[in-house]
Amino acid sequence: MGSSIELPVSRPSDSSETGIGGAWRVIVRNDDHNTFDHVAVTLARYIPGVDVSGGYALADRIHTTGQALVWSGHRETAELYWEQLHEAGLTMAPLEQG
């Protein structure tokens, strides 16, 4: 059987939020073990609208600023992209609603 990954989620402080819709943010953090090539190709593979060139631009932003927002949207889709990027070895910030 496959292993289950528990997604770290930053909950909004406003309890009136349902947490289902809205803009959930997928953020990749800088690390010392992933190459620019791996980050760029992985982002291009899993994030719609990101080609390898765009992946390199995001990898540069991740490297320069320490992290980058790579996708935002509905929670279920954000969870899917977060898990795919995490399983590919990228260092992920907790999924958060923004």
Decide if 25 contacts 95 (C-beta within 8 A). Answer: yes
Instruction: Identify the three-state secondary structure at position 53.
Output: helix
> 4 pLDDT exceeds 80?
no
pLDDT of residue 10: 54
Question: In this structure, what DSSP letter does residue 73 have?
Answer: E
Q: Give CA–CA dist 98/84, Å, rounded.
A: 20
pLDDT of residue 7: 57
For 16-65, write each residue's pLDDT tens digit.
344 455 799 999 999 999 999 999 999 999 999 999 999 999 999 999 99
- Give the residue, 97 or 12, on which the prediction is more confident: 97
Cα–Cα distance list, 19 to 4, 8, 59, 66 (Å): 21, 14, 29, 26
pLDDT of residue 15: 35
Exposed/middle/buried for residue 57 (C-beta within 10 Å: 0-12, 13-18, 19+): middle
